[in-house]
Amino acid sequence: MVPVSYYLVLSAVLFTLGVAAFLFKRNIITIFMSIELMLNAVNLSFVAFANMHKDVSGHVFVFFVMVVAAAEAAVGLAIIIAIYRTRETLNVDRVNLLKL
Amino acid sequence: MNPTTNEIQSIAILPELILSVAGIVVMLADPFLGAKSNRRPLGYLALAGTVAALFATAMQRSSPGASYFRVIQVDDFSVFFHFVIIAITAVVTLSSLDYLEQQRIRAGEYYALLLFGTVGMCLMTSARELLMLFIALEISSIATYVLAGFRLRSAASAESSLKYFLLGSFATAFFLYGVALIYGATGTTNIPAIAAKLAEGSTTGLTVMALALMIVGMAFKISAAPFHVWTPDVYEGAPIPVVALMSTGPKAAAFALMLRVLFGAFGSLNEWWMPLIWVAAVLSMTLGNIGALMQNNVKRMLAYSSIAHAGYVLVAFAAQKEAGVSAAIFYTATYAAMNVGAFAVASYQAGEGERYVSIDDFAGLGRRSPVLATTLTIFMLSLIGIPLTGGFFAKFYVFKAALASDMIWLTVIGVANSAIAAYYYLRLIVVMYMKEGDESTPLLPVPVSVATGLLVAAGLTLYLGILPESTLDFAIKGARQLLLIH
Amino acid sequence: MTDNQLLPYLPVLLQLLVAAGIGAGMVALSAIIGHRKYSRVKMQAYECGMTPTGDAQHRFSVKFYLVAMLFILFDVEAIFLIPWAVVYKDLLRKFGWFGFWEMIIYIGIVLVGLIYIWKKGVIDWNVDDAKESASGSD
């Protein structure tokens, strides 16, 4: 058997990659995918812990996270279409009407 | 979760049930109405739903306890926040009726999304299971992401929606990772069970990591510094009634969530999270107020002000104990009343296409519309914290709790910040009454729905400033139950 | 942590290596020993033997995207039916019909969503685009 820590390290690496991509990528779709990567990294942690504790509530959590991620994807892509219709670009640097 | 407990009392989620059914009816009714017909009746339907939900919440007081397999907790704490959140939605609905017609947005889904979002916020306050908390958080967030983009013709609105969506989901992912780690550390996602496990065992690196990640996620949601940068942008682009909702409803719910998580689950780790909250409180107050000083757009100014107010609530968090928790609860309610009111005025004053949102556009409002000017003055004075308004007692209780916990420095910084804040709130009042208005800006007859909303908000602000005792008692009871149950 | 823990996964690793080797090998071999003769017909994009019409990168109607998005939503919502069906007998024994009605309510809510998109005309592809965009901009 592969020890739990392997899964946790993999999950942490994936989550960190997601965070890095979120911060450094400029295309909205890529940024959006990096959020999905973060959520799936968390799912991996949940499953690993559920297996470690021999408890199903971790699996249940994963189900709900997946459904929520799908709902988020639908809303997110709709927003991206709205952005494209008004701005004709998907580069976050050019989506800058509202200055920080 | 104990599978043998079969305690399914519909009363525990009755307000949410009513709101969901009302939302579904509104959503289904919209496509059946003709494309050109008026959507106002749907707004009234939504309003009726919120009023019914308020009555259901009042009924809940007589049947406290855990329900639905120990996932839902009904106590004074949840009932208090239910009242606050549903009342916010009612006032926002009232101020949306005319706003939507003015902006020529013809979509009944707006009201449906308002109601669905409210369901999520309500569940956030009564969940005692992290899974439920997460789902509730997402219900409320996803509904508000869409609402932020509702000015379909405006590029700024779409951009605001995008920023809110991206940063909101980013924060959710952090929160979720924290949940996963605490599940790994304790083997449960039930908040009281987590508290019990943490109290008996020693603190490990895993629990501290989980705590830190969850605080990051929650700080985003309440827009506390250093995770506040999205707030002004999102508030500037979103439709004003939606900003009224975003700056109060999800925030009140997020504070409730934070209270449950920090004092419920992580109560025994308070020496770990206290310094983080202390720093976040100081940063939020200072950066919020300094940012607000430099704004010319009223929406941005109120956005920075909401960051500063999140800081004051965090002072109460840092004070801890019953006094701190009850002060935080009381502050949330007061802030909701005055902020929703201020945005309601702004949304009516903004005009078609939200053209009049800079501070100079408020010039001469005292003459053009005495009703709007008077109510806005009440809200501004309350946001400063002048006696006889709710804001005074809210700040008073927070700083009293902080002093009682020997947090002298935090109190000093907080009071100094309140003094700075007075400048930009007063500036708006001065502009309204002292400066001559532009001739071309139209006169504003206030419609009944907006007037009702303003009356409710202003009435509550004054009520909390003159007779705060009963509300404070309620908040103290809620705080006691929150601290006791876990 | 010894290598033994990973030993059961050795076949997977071997298969990965073999698959990657075959793929890389074929590409490399054809590049090394293959003849190349370019003609106009050969340089055309391959479309199942048909003569290509137009650019491959033209825009798709947003309707494809909408249907795909709705498919994801309804597809993922079915996720809850599977664990429910697995424990259904236990559920019936422990809570009576409660578990059944809960799922019926859930399916009912999903159905409401379907009725909504139906009435909104999302799955009605016969409406011409001009009319659609005229009513959509309102």
Domains of chain A: 4-94 (1.10.287.3510)
Do B162 and A80 contact (CB within 8 A), yes or no? yes
- Sorting pLDDT into bands at 50, 70 and 90, what band is C135? very low
DSSP three-state, residue A55: coil
Q: How far apart are CA B98 and CA B95, in angstroms?
A: 6
The DSSP letter of residue B264 is: I
Looking at residue B125, its pLDDT comes to 92
Phi first, then psi: give them for residue B129, nearest 5 degrees. Answer: -135, 130
Looking at residue C71, its pLDDT comes to 86
The DSSP letter of residue B67 is: E
Most A CBs within 10 A among B69, B71, B116, B183, hence the mutation to make, goes to B183
Looking at residue B75, its pLDDT comes to 87
Q: How far does the CA of residue B69 sit from the closest CA of chain A (Å)?
A: 13
pLDDT tens sequence across B387-407: 888 889 999 999 989 988 888
* Statement: residue C138 has pLDDT above 60: no
From the list C6, C76, C83, the residue facing A2 with the nearest CB is C6
Contact A78 C69 (CB under 8 A): yes
- Flag whether B331 is in a domain: yes
Chains that touch B (3 or more CB pairs under 8 A): A, C
The answer to whether A78 faces chain C, any CB pair under 8 Å, is yes
* Statement: residue B229 has pLDDT above 90: no
Average pLDDT over residues C93-120: 87
Host H or E run for residue B72: strand B72-74
Phi first, then psi: give them for residue B328, nearest 5 degrees. Answer: -65, -45
Looking at residue C130, its pLDDT comes to 47
From the list C95, C109, C116, the residue facing B31 with the nearest CB is C116
Average pLDDT, chain C: 79
Chains that touch C (3 or more CB pairs under 8 A): A, B
Contact B3 C94 (CB under 8 A): yes
* Statement: residue C38 has pLDDT above 50: yes
- % helix / strand / coil in chain C, to the nearest 5? 70, 0, 25
Looking at residue A9, its pLDDT comes to 93
pLDDT tens sequence across B329-360: 999 999 999 999 999 888 888 777 777 778 87
The answer to whether A39 faces chain B, any CB pair under 8 Å, is yes
Which of B165, B237, A86 lies closest to A94 in space, CA to CA? A86
Contact C137 B31 (CB under 8 A): no
Average pLDDT over residues B299-324: 90
Domain residues for B125?
A: 10-485
Q: How far apart are CA B200 and CA C85, in angstroms?
A: 38
Looking at residue B99, its pLDDT comes to 85
- Flag whether B3 is in a domain: no
Which of B335, B384, B323 lies closest to B222 in space, CA to CA? B335
From the list B3, B32, B152, the residue facing C119 with the nearest CB is B32
- Flag whether B452 is in a domain: yes
- Sorting pLDDT into bands at 50, 70 and 90, what band is B151? confident
Looking at residue C67, its pLDDT comes to 84
Looking at residue C62, its pLDDT comes to 72
**Which residue of chain C is at minimal alpha-carbon distance from A64?**
C80
The ipTM (two decimal places) reads 0.93
Q: How far apart are CA B252 and CA B222, in angstroms?
A: 8
Average pLDDT over residues C32-41: 79
From the list C94, C119, C138, the residue facing B106 with the nearest CB is C138
Which of B337, B307, B325, B293 lies closest to B425 in space, CA to CA? B293
For residue C95, list chain B residues with Cβ-Cβ distance below 8 A. 6
- Per-residue HEC secondary structure of C86-126 comes to HCHHHHHHHHCCHHHHHHHHHHHHHHHHHHHHHHHCCCCCC
* Statement: residue C6 has pLDDT above 80: no
The answer to whether A9 faces chain C, any CB pair under 8 Å, is no
Looking at residue B134, its pLDDT comes to 94
Contact A70 C73 (CB under 8 A): yes
Contact A86 B158 (CB under 8 A): yes
- Between C137 and B48, name the one with better pLDDT: B48
Looking at residue B441, its pLDDT comes to 62
Percent of chain B with pLDDT over 90: 40
Q: How far does the CA of residue B390 sit from the closest CA of chain A (Å)?
A: 32
- Sorting pLDDT into bands at 50, 70 and 90, what band is C79? confident
- Sorting pLDDT into bands at 50, 70 and 90, what band is B438? low
Q: Determine which of A44-58, B63-77, B225-239, B414-428 has the lowest per-residue pLDDT on average.
A: B63-77
pLDDT tens sequence across B354-390: 777 788 788 878 778 888 888 999 999 999 988 888 8
- Flag whether B284 is in a domain: yes
Average pLDDT over residues B441-450: 75
Rounded average pLDDT per 10-residue block, chain A, 100 residues: 86 94 88 93 94 89 91 89 77 63
- Flag whether B2 is in a domain: no
- Count the domains in chain B: 1
How many angstroms from the chain centroid is the CA of residue A6?
20
Looking at residue C133, its pLDDT comes to 46
- Flag whether B4 is in a domain: no
* Statement: residue B2 has pLDDT above 50: no
pLDDT tens sequence across B238-268: 888 999 999 999 999 999 999 989 988 888 8
- Between A87 and B413, name the one with better pLDDT: B413
* Statement: residue B482 has pLDDT above 90: no
- Flag whether B469 is in a domain: yes
* Statement: residue B131 has pLDDT above 80: yes
- Flag whether B294 is in a domain: yes
Which of B308, B307, B332, B280 lies closest to B77 in space, CA to CA? B332
Do B310 and B223 contact (CB within 8 A), yes or no? yes
For residue C75, list chain A residues with Cβ-Cβ distance below 8 A. 70
Looking at residue C127, its pLDDT comes to 61
- Between B391 and B153, name the one with better pLDDT: B391
B358 pairs with which residues across the strands? B297
Which stretches of B222-350 are DSSP H helices?
230-237, 240-246, 249-259, 270-293, 298-319, 321-349
Average pLDDT over residues C9-27: 93
